A and B are shown apart, each in its own frame.
Chain A
Amino acid sequence: MPPRWAMLLRRREILVTAAVIVVVAVSTAAHPYFWSSGNLAFIFADSVVITFLALGESFVMIGRGIDLSVGAIMGLSAIVVGFRIQNDGMTLLPAVLLGAAVGIVLGVGNAVLVGLVRLPPIIATLGTLSVYSGLEFVVTNGNQVDTIPSSITNLGSHTVLPGVPVILLLTLPFVLVSAWVLRYTAFGRSVYAVGDDAEAAYRAGIGVRRVQFLTYVISGLLAGLGGVAFLVYTSGASSTTGINDNLTAIAAAIIGGTALTGGVGGAFGALAGSVFLTVTLTAMSFAHVSDVWQPAGVGVLVLLAVVYDSRSRAGRTRRGTKRRRGTR
């Protein structure tokens, strides 16, 4: 039996948090400005969008699915909401509701294809990714959102405590609720059951396809909220918003300990993974590594996370592939 601290490090969100602290400490030692309120607030605000996407992706991936379209849903929500804010002076609360609604509608699109029509998730969401990206263009019609009132963008730049932007406080409840749903509700437990072994879950009386259906709706909902967060943080949106975030969201979820093979992961992991990604990328630019290498940073982190995780090794994955085949 390994000592208790070693057991703690086996929990991915704790391990990643420790890694965050190490990166922050090293960067602060090299560049004192790293530990400034402004920089920390920037890092947190920067990670919020990916946190929303990775949260939704975690639901889907724990249930042994994959959602390639979260970035497009986020972008579409940002555009739809952004135009309403820009042209009709919509305030924050209706904006959040509208973003959630857009996300749910698009998420239901995925859910119908995977849960009802039973297309393999990777194919279905690849198709909807194309459709939603195209819709982004149709909706913008060549225009872009660029004037978001400061009453909204202040949420991303103003801090409540030194280093903690308002938007982070607004995001945390969603992380907490997601964690509670996954850990303590019957639905959450059945997501894990379905992801771990759909056959066993089916025999245990869980509505496998209903659970899968709901995970895609939740993923859409959270991505829709991510779109509003994107507006708050960047104060603009265009037809290409979110185009690079699909794979980054999956990367953040994987770094946070969610396994592609299903049944493993959690909401805090998604938060820790997103923050870790942002912190590392910021630290890289503090160390004068060219921005060109930022994608490589993401790639190396994903490789490290996967190699570290023995669960994703051969035997397990091959069995996983076969099971995935059975559940489609």
Chain B
Amino acid sequence: MTTLALPRRYRVPAWGACLVLAIIGELIYFTLTTRQFAGHGTGILNLTEQFAPTGVLALGLAMVILTGNIDLSCGASASLAAVIAGTVLSKGGSPALAIVAAIAVSTLFGLFNGLIVAFVGIDSLLVTLATQFIVTSIATSVAGASPPFGFSSAFTLIGQGSVNDVPFALLTFLVIALAVIITVGYTSLGRSLTLIGYNPRAALYSGIAIRGSLTAVFTLGGFMSGVAGVLLAAYYNSAQPQIGTGLLLPAITAVILGGMDIFGGAGRVGEVVLAVLLLGFLSQGMLIAGDSSLSVTMVTGLVLIGALVVKFSFERNLRQRVSARMRRLRPFDQDAHG
């Protein structure tokens, strides 16, 4: 809408620093107020097992949101992956086979989403709204009346084991986070994703393979859902068909709190990682202190709204100051809404 040649977005320069400060603050608070929170120093690390799956989902979602799309089906897709892994294990398959099968199915499902979004050209919110319902049914159907549980320790180690007190789940999350940061920041695919989100038309005219990139990003999102599903099944040692569905909203919340622009084209994956840690420790701290999970949901919502109100008013203020300066230079090109 603006006709000025302005950079469209201004960011809180130190959003990442704000998140780090908040994490440190809440860690100190919970350590002081709740005796069980820190454990014997390793407790804090062990807590990450609980929210590593949400973090992995958030990373996949972050890339999708960076292109200006959204994937509402990632939580349900994680459930499906968990159920597939559980079913393979309960049929006597090896853990490796279970993991490969689970991740393959959810990756294929992500590819399906991507193909519809990219080639049929339907808004991703609608596509994934619909496929989310469908995948929920498939997961419930595969799981059957008595969902599989009680897996071999070789499998549950993925969700519960640790190397030198660092949980596998946290390691998985960090490795994937590093891979996503590199992909988004330092590869041509990452630059394409950002440009598609920032300005699809410009992306088209600069010869970027929009359809290919979108398909790729949804497929990657499906892959992450698969990883998250495997982590969930291994951590809970069971494969309920609703196991990952509730993680959708926390994952979106983490991505948005991490400063990713919901309309695409701006945001840093590193800050999403920080937001995952912030929200994860917040919810675990509250749960350990004895709050119910729904109170945690409520506080999470309040944090999201509060943080974004501050961030948006700050950025709007900055934007207005810059456009006022530009207006003095070019008085006839005015921005309608400022």
Q: Residues on A close to B: CB < 8 A? A: 66, 113, 117-120, 122-124, 126-131, 133-138, 199, 202-203, 239, 247, 250-251, 254, 260-261, 290, 292-300, 302-303, 306-307, 312-315, 317-318, 320-328
> In the assembled complex, how far is the CB of residue A54 from the closest CB belonging to chain B, in whole angstroms?
14
Given A247-B72, A325-B8, output 13 extra A-B contacts at Cβ < 8 Å: A117-B312, A119-B312, A127-B304, A137-B292, A137-B298, A292-B141, A293-B141, A295-B134, A295-B140, A298-B130, A299-B133, A307-B120, A307-B122
B133 touches A295 (CB 8 A): yes
> In the assembled complex, how far is the CB of residue A164 from the closest CB belonging to chain B, in whole angstroms?
29
> In the assembled complex, how far is the CB of residue B202 from the closest CB belonging to chain A, in whole angstroms?
11
B126 touches A260 (CB 8 A): yes
Task: Name, among B70, B72, B121, the residue most crowded by chain A CB atoms within 10 Å (CB to CB).
Answer: B121
Contacts of A293 in B (CB 8 A): 137, 141
A312 touches B126 (CB 8 A): yes
What are 14 inter-chain pairs, A to B, with CB distance below 8 A? Answer: A126-B256, A127-B301, A131-B301, A131-B302, A134-B294, A134-B295, A137-B292, A199-B1, A292-B140, A294-B137, A302-B130, A306-B122, A306-B123, A323-B1
Interface string of B311-338 (1 = CB under 8 A from A): 0110010000000000000000000110
**Is B129 among interface residues, defined by CB-CB distance under 8 A?**
yes
A134's closest neighbor in chain B, by CB?
Answer: B298
Q: How far is the CA of A302 from the CA of B249 in the complex (A)?
A: 21
B308 touches A136 (CB 8 A): no
**Is B300 among interface residues, defined by CB-CB distance under 8 A?**
yes
Listed from nearest, the 3 A-B pairs whose CB atoms lie closest are A134-B298, A130-B301, A314-B121
Known A134-B301, A202-B336, A321-B200; contact A127-B129, beta-carbon cutoff 8 A: no
Known A118-B316, A202-B337, A296-B133; contact A138-B298, beta-carbon cutoff 8 A: yes
**Is B258 among interface residues, defined by CB-CB distance under 8 A?**
no
**Is B176 among interface residues, defined by CB-CB distance under 8 A?**
no
> In the assembled complex, how far is the CB of residue B180 from the closest CB belonging to chain A, in whole angstroms?
22
Contacts of A133 in B (CB 8 A): 294, 297-298, 301
> In the assembled complex, how far is the CB of residue B33 from the closest CB belonging to chain A, in whole angstroms?
20
Contacts of A300 in B (CB 8 A): 130, 134
> In the assembled complex, how far is the CB of residue A300 from the closest CB belonging to chain B, in whole angstroms?
7
**Is B247 among interface residues, defined by CB-CB distance under 8 A?**
no
- In chain B, residues 122-156, which have Cβ atoms closer than 8 Å to a Cβ of chain A? 122-123, 125-127, 129-134, 136-138, 140-141
- Name the contact of A299 in the complex, choosing from B8, B130, B256 (C-beta under 8 A): B130
- In chain B, residues 37-55, which have Cβ atoms closer than 8 Å to a Cβ of chain A? none
- In chain B, residues 4-21, which have Cβ atoms closer than 8 Å to a Cβ of chain A? 8
Known A130-B300, A303-B130, A326-B337; contact A239-B294, beta-carbon cutoff 8 A: yes
Known A123-B256, A317-B122, A325-B263; contact A131-B132, beta-carbon cutoff 8 A: no
- Name the contact of B294 in the complex, choosing from A137, A254, A290, A315 (C-beta under 8 A): A137
**Is B68 among interface residues, defined by CB-CB distance under 8 A?**
yes
> In the assembled complex, how far is the CB of residue B70 from the closest CB belonging to chain A, in whole angstroms?
8
- Name the contact of B253 in the complex, choosing from A118, A126, A296, A313 (C-beta under 8 A): A126
> In the assembled complex, how far is the CB of residue A292 from the closest CB belonging to chain B, in whole angstroms?
4
B132 touches A247 (CB 8 A): yes
Number of interface residues of B (CB under 8 A): 52
B304 touches A123 (CB 8 A): yes
Q: How far is the CA of A120 from the CA of B256 in the complex (A)?
A: 11
**Is B288 among interface residues, defined by CB-CB distance under 8 A?**
no
Q: How far is the CA of A37 from the CA of B140 in the complex (A)?
A: 32
Q: Residues on B close to A: CB < 8 A? A: 1-2, 8, 68, 70, 72, 120-123, 125-127, 129-134, 136-138, 140-141, 200-201, 249, 252-253, 256, 262-264, 292, 294-302, 304-305, 308-309, 312-313, 316, 336-337
- Name the contact of B126 in the complex, choosing from A131, A202, A302 (C-beta under 8 A): A302
Contacts of B262 in A (CB 8 A): 120, 122-123
Contacts of A296 in B (CB 8 A): 133-134, 136-138
Contacts of B2 in A (CB 8 A): 326
Contacts of A128 in B (CB 8 A): 301, 305
A247 touches B137 (CB 8 A): no
> In the assembled complex, how far is the CB of residue A291 from the closest CB belonging to chain B, in whole angstroms?
9
Q: How far is the CA of A299 from the CA of B129 in the complex (A)?
A: 7
B133 touches A298 (CB 8 A): yes
A137 touches B295 (CB 8 A): yes
Q: How far is the CA of A326 from the CA of B2 in the complex (A)?
A: 8
Q: How far is the CA of A313 from the CA of B119 in the complex (A)?
A: 10
Q: How far is the CA of A293 from the CA of B336 in the complex (A)?
A: 49
- Name the contact of B309 in the complex, choosing from A117, A254, A261, A324 (C-beta under 8 A): A117
> In the assembled complex, how far is the CB of residue B81 from the closest CB belonging to chain A, in whole angstroms?
17
> In the assembled complex, how far is the CB of residue B20 from the closest CB belonging to chain A, in whole angstroms?
22
Contacts of B301 in A (CB 8 A): 126-131, 133-134
Q: How far is the CA of A122 from the CA of B72 in the complex (A)?
A: 12
Contacts of A135 in B (CB 8 A): 298
B9's closest neighbor in chain A, by CB?
Answer: A325
Known A302-B126, A306-B127; contact A127-B308, beta-carbon cutoff 8 A: yes
Q: How far is the CA of A191 from the CA of B262 in the complex (A)?
A: 23
> In the assembled complex, how far is the CB of residue B269 from the closest CB belonging to chain A, in whole angstroms?
19
- Name the contact of B308 in the complex, choosing from A123, A130, A137 (C-beta under 8 A): A123
> In the assembled complex, how far is the CB of residue A111 from the closest CB belonging to chain B, in whole angstroms?
13
> In the assembled complex, how far is the CB of residue A167 from the closest CB belonging to chain B, in whole angstroms?
26
Q: How far is the CA of A213 from the CA of B129 in the complex (A)?
A: 25
Contacts of A117 in B (CB 8 A): 309, 312-313
Known A118-B316, A119-B312, A312-B123; contact A295-B295, beta-carbon cutoff 8 A: no
Q: How far is the CA of A144 from the CA of B335 in the complex (A)?
A: 52
Task: Name, among A117, A136, A323, the residue most crowded by chain B CB atoms within 10 Å (CB to CB).
Answer: A117
A131 touches B131 (CB 8 A): no
B265's closest neighbor in chain A, by CB?
Answer: A325
> In the assembled complex, how far is the CB of residue A293 from the closest CB belonging to chain B, in whole angstroms?
5
B211's closest neighbor in chain A, by CB?
Answer: A314
